[in-house]
Amino acid sequence: MKASNREGTRLIGLTREEILENFEFYDGDHWPLSIFIQKAAEVTDERQLKRLESLRAMFQEFNKIQEIVERNIRALLEEEPAITFTDLDLEEIENVPLNLDTQLKNFLRSQKRLAVSMINGSSSKQAIKKTVFKKAVTDALICGRGYIRAYDPQRYNVPLALHAPDPLQVQIGRSYDGFLNWIKYSYRETKDVIRTEHQTVDRNTGLTIFRTLENDSISNTSLGDYRHEEGFLEEEVIEQWVLDLNGGYSIYEIGLTPLVNKSTKRLQNGINGVMTLALNNIFYTIPRTSVTNGMPPGEFVVGPGGQLEFKEKKDVEDAAPGSTDFVPGIPLFNENRDVVNYTNPNIFTHEPFSTEHFLATYETLKRGIYESAHQGFVLRQSQDSNLSGVAHTVLKIDFISLLRDQALVVVEGLRNTYLTSLLMLNQADPSTIAAIKNLDLMIELHIGAGDVLPEDQKEIREDYNAGLVSQFTAINELGRDPDFEMSKIEEENKLNPDLTNPLALLEQVTEDNSNGAAPDPKKVARESSSAN
């Protein structure tokens, strides 16, 4: 886990309320967070309060925050990462000792079969649908920090399991110079019993000491790092054990700049508000007809007091299509109650107010959210004619640049988790532990920034074939990982020298797929060879 150089009794983080609010914006109910509820807190007039409350039934929730988070997750982790075993100098090992590569592969497959995050009271309703790694990265994009924990589940008939604790379940203690002192994970053992797993590394032996605490006196009310020498009291310890984790911990923190922040939450509230008002506008201006100086069907009768009263006819049938209705004017009487004239009825048909200005505001706010997450390129994919092809490409490259920065953090989390898992699986065998300590891992994420539009694919291929851009740049603009793809291309070229132009291959595959046919490898090879 990376050390922090921030100082203070507790490093600044989000409060519990802020964390829960961020998760609520991600996949919760936006009404309690809306501008209408905020406005209601300032209003004292009873009629205005009722008017605001009436908007509840028409409240619209266009959750763009969840959209940008999920798009980021898919771009990072949609495909399985590539794992390469290396020595400590990061040189690839062809023959991995003790079949550790197979053991890791089988372990990760067993985790996929569990198909749950095994979270305790998750803050996110969608978390249970995610893999462990996706859930941890999702948490980091929502509130800045996500966690992966390896542990012995003592159930599910597996020796080791991975899960992603909720951010509020984990505390980290650091020294004043930023080095890690301890990690704690709190969980509910039963309905009424909460336990805490405390981890620290013995400075003399390098072994990781695990303690189970009851009635943990250092509660976690916010997300941040804590300055406390030990992180526990001796009288709280129920049990204690040690593991050789090569000086590490079984919990790893992934820290990312959150996409859910004050700015995006304001933009989201604006989107919900403007679309609610648009619907409200339509609802209260549904096409209708008004009649002035006219009478509904009925007649005037003399009432009990001798005065004239109008008695409306209630059982009037609606006019049939194609028929003509007549609206009588209001009769005017003289002193003898004789009708001397009638008013001239006026009929008005009201059309709904235009929602054009609402929709324009919605598009502006949506653009703000997309651009805050470096996802402005999505606007052209959703047929935004104002975004040029060049601007689209620039914005997509900007998103890929962000993904690469995030990938550095995520890759380190995966590497640490994989190595720790191997160490925990082999605690009973010191020789295997020693072998693992002499290994390292290289993890590659297959970053994808979403589908590239067909016209963009064509431009990229033309630029590459014309020698205007490098193969690296072309593959990067196609939304793929150039390093990974170029290494695979090199391997394929060794096996089949005819396949030397990957973009010609891509063009043929695209053409064949659009015609509903499978690509012809021989045809691709011939055209690829001639292109070079």
Per-residue confidence band for 52, with pLDDT thresholds at 50, 70 and 90: confident
**Residues forming a β-bridge with 496:** none
What does the buried/exposed string (b/e) look like for 181-219 if buried means 16 or more CB atoms within 10 Å of the residue's CB? bbbbbbbeeeeeeebbbbbbbeeeeebbebbebeebebe
Q: Please, what's the b/e burial string for 276-295 (b: 16 or more CB within 10 A of its CB; e: otherwise)?
A: bbbbbbeeeeeeeeeeeebb
Between the alpha carbon of residue 16 and those of residues 23, 197, 219, 257, the distances in Å are 11, 20, 11, 18
Q: What is the pLDDT of residue 107?
A: 94
Give pLDDT, residue 294: 77
Rounded to whole angstroms, the Cα distance separating 6 from 174 reads 10
Residue 517 — pLDDT band, cuts 50, 70, 90? very low
More confident residue, 199 or 309: 199
pLDDT computed for residue 502 by the predictor: 54
Average pLDDT over residues 6-25: 72
pTM over 0.85: no
Q: Check pLDDT > 60 for residue 525.
A: no
116 pLDDT band (50/70/90 cuts)?
very low
More confident residue, 149 or 473: 149
pLDDT computed for residue 254 by the predictor = 95
Mean of the pLDDT values across residues 383-387? 54
Hey, is 73 helix, strand or coil?
A: helix
Question: What's the one-letter identity of residue 216?
Answer: D
Taking residues 415-436, what's their average pLDDT? 97
Tokens of 142: 């929502």
Assess whether pLDDT exceeds 70 at residue 121: no
Q: Which residue has the higher pLDDT, 524 or 160?
A: 160
Q: Which one-letter amino acid corresponds to residue 393?
A: T
- Give the chain's mean pLDDT: 81
Q: Give the residue-averaged pLDDT of 334-359.
A: 82
Q: Where are the alpha helices (DSSP H) in 118-223?
A: 132-143
What sign results for the dihedral spanned by CA atoms 435, 113, 252, 181?
A: negative
Q: Does position 6 have pLDDT exceeding 60, yes or no?
A: no
- How much is the average pLDDT of 335-349? 82
Report the distance separating Cα 417 and Cα 256, nearest Å.
17
Higher pLDDT, 529 or 466: 466
pLDDT tens, 93-112? 999 999 999 999 999 998 87
- Categorize the per-residue pLDDT at 2 as very low, low, confident or very high, splitting at 50, 70 and 90: very low
Question: Of the segments 295-304, 336-345, 357-366, 443-452, which one has the largest average pLDDT value?
Answer: 357-366
Helix (H, G, I), strand (E, B) or coil at 505: helix
Q: Is the pLDDT of residue 76 over 60?
A: yes
